Structure 1
Amino acid sequence: MEHLSAEARAVERTDAPPDAVPDGQSSVDSLDETVLLDVRDVTLRFGGVTALDGVSFDVRRGELFAVIGPNGAGKTSIFNCLNGVYRPQQGTITLGDKRLVGRAPAAIAALGIARTFQNLGLFEHLTLIDNLMLGRHHLMRTGFLTGMLWWGRAKREEVRHRAAVEEIVELLELEPYRRTPAGLLPYGVAKRAELGRALAMEPTLLLLDEPVAGMNLEETEDMARYLIEVRRELDLAMILVEHDMRLVMDLADRVLALDFGVVIASGTPDEVQRDPKVIEAYLGGAA
């Protein structure tokens, strides 16, 4: 209840702080209008339970688009539909000119959708560098035998991919932890490594599932800074699911609010945080 109340207070804010839009962040007006992802009338049911009910939205190139809502609103279900874990019974999902519904998660990843997870999915006994290299797997063409011999084409390919990973290490300031096993990384650094592995996939769309969950204030501010830097350097579209409303309202270009699988508001952060339906959903009573 304490966490929910904090969210509700953030949603109720009517005056954004002066630094609400950090340096380097795009405004809605300056965004590329080209639609990268188009979600139309997606409905997802589990037996008699409707997790998503006719959800529609689009994400533009280079945009940071946020999805908010109370627990159980359907936020993670959207992500699972986008990366192929769930197959909706109705609706369409299109990335560029490619339809995603019915494709396997690996095929969708190859099309350019990467995802981080709320719960860390790093391999604890592998070093940070090796965990990031796993994000390059779908880009590698060397076979098992050639890779085992590590000669010729295999050697050149690994050198090339390690160079790409080193650029991510530099971007996220992970240099001191390059050879550290993932299981020994501080929590905030491990979350950053999770982000780095997703970036190593060279995505066109990045799904961020609660990237600051469990972080203290300092770690949260650091992650916000890295997300801004990633946008600036890579011009990457992102969909952010997060319970930290201050982070959402400060970073997002547009926000979609869900409640019980239904879209209740969509627009700029200012518009959504003032919407009576959004306030009611977070407070649990009439606005």
Structure 2
Amino acid sequence: MERVSELASPPSNEPEPLLRVRDLTLRFGGVTALNGVDFEVRRGELFAIIGPNGAGKTSIFNCLNSVYRPQQGTITLNGKSLLGRPPAAVAALGVARTFQNLGLFSHLTLVENLMLGRHHLMRTGFFSGMLWWGRAKREEIAHRAAVERIVELLELEPYRRMPAGLLPYGVAKRAELGRALAMEPTLLLLDEPVAGMNLEETEDTARYLLEVRRELGLAMILVEHDMSLVMDLADRVMALDFGVVIATGAPSEIQGDPKVIEAYLGGAA
């Protein structure tokens, strides 16, 4: 992964973080999935969350985009609370997400799937859109132009008219990323973006993520089991174990932390 690390840009030095999470606690009956989790994400930063299965990584994502409602704690994005808002409202505030399992519509083309990411930005109604006249036509053209820029950024041109169900797996994962980018987010949640990929596909995805970061200036939160990818790309890493933060710091610090080695790698330092 050395060849892509040179593309990384340093995070912003702005004192006010983009995302602030404080005392996040989530329970399911008698099971505590998250216990007093605190972290911040700076503007333009690539922040990674690691931990063994069941540590609470996906639960954090589900709290961030309001799929789960925590019993305790605060989540603020650009100073606005995300708690209590429906997922659509959180998306409108600038939070987009990719998923471990592909969520593409297999019968729609790649471009049509990316257009779905623009839905919350569209203002024309059903009937004006059906007639495709005046404002509706201008809006459609503008959104398609935005999607084409994403297609170019992610080098998806050869697949743009192909049904999503026929896309190679690595390309389909890239299309999932493209649909999230089509939402024009300020914070991008990446849930295991290289799961199931071979080495070449993983390196390509790393390159695209860094290209997206450089071109769009997005803050990203990465959940991933591929430690070489995490340590090569992330500015900071937070390690979880049983819903508790055990370490936060630079990748080099996390790699040598005895608690992380014991909890995540299964052995003593």
Give the TM bin, normalised by the shorter chain: over 0.9
2:5 aligned to which of 22, 28, 47: 22
Q: Which runs of at least 4 in structure 1 moved beyond 6 Å after TM superposition?
A: none
Deviation of 1:140 (Å):
0.1
Q: Which residue of 1 aligns with 2:108?
A: 126
Deviation of 1:33 (Å):
4.0
Question: 5+ residue gaps in structure 2?
Answer: none
Q: Which residue of 1 aligns with 2:86?
A: 104
* Whole-angstrom distance in 2 between the partners of 1:202 and 1:138: 10
Deviation of 1:38 (Å):
0.1
* Whole-angstrom distance in 1 between the partners of 2:10 and 2:145: 32
1:196-275 paired onto structure 2 within 5 Å: 196-275=178-257
Deviation of 1:286 (Å):
3.1
Q: Which residue of 2 aligns with 1:174?
A: 156
Q: Give 1:177's aligned amino acid.
A: Y
* Whole-angstrom distance in 1 between the partners of 2:167 and 2:161: 10
- Is the CA contact (8 Å cut-off) linking 2:4 and 2:207 kept in structure 1? no
- Is the CA contact (8 Å cut-off) linking 2:21 and 2:39 kept in structure 1? yes
Q: Does 1:85 align with 2:64?
A: no
TM-score after normalising by structure 1: 0.92
Question: 5+ residue gaps in structure 1?
Answer: 1-16
Deviations 1:2-39 (A, max 9, x none): xxxxxxxxxxxxxxx8x3772231235x6444300000
Q: Give 1:124's aligned amino acid.
A: S
* Whole-angstrom distance in 1 between the partners of 2:30 and 2:90: 28
- Is the CA contact (8 Å cut-off) linking 1:37 and 1:59 kept in structure 2? yes
- Is the CA contact (8 Å cut-off) linking 1:33 and 1:61 kept in structure 2? no
Q: Does 1:183 align with 2:184?
A: no
- Is the CA contact (8 Å cut-off) linking 2:66 and 2:84 kept in structure 1? yes
Q: Which residue of 1 aligns with 2:16?
A: 34
Q: Does 1:282 align with 2:260?
A: no
Q: Which residue of 2 aligns with 1:8?
A: none
* Whole-angstrom distance in 1 between the partners of 2:17 and 2:53: 28
| Number of equivalent positions | 269
Q: Which residue of 2 aligns with 1:5?
A: none
- Is the CA contact (8 Å cut-off) linking 1:20 and 1:249 kept in structure 2? no
* Whole-angstrom distance in 2 between the partners of 1:31 and 1:259: 29
Q: Does 1:161 align with 2:150?
A: no
1:143 aligned to which of 114, 119, 125: 125
CA RMSD of aligned residues (A): 1.2
Q: What secondary structure sits across from 1:35 in the alignment?
A: coil
2:77 aligned to which of 95, 107, 114: 95
Q: Does 1:194 align with 2:181?
A: no
Q: Give 1:83's aligned amino acid.
A: N
* Whole-angstrom distance in 1 between the partners of 2:248 and 2:3: 19
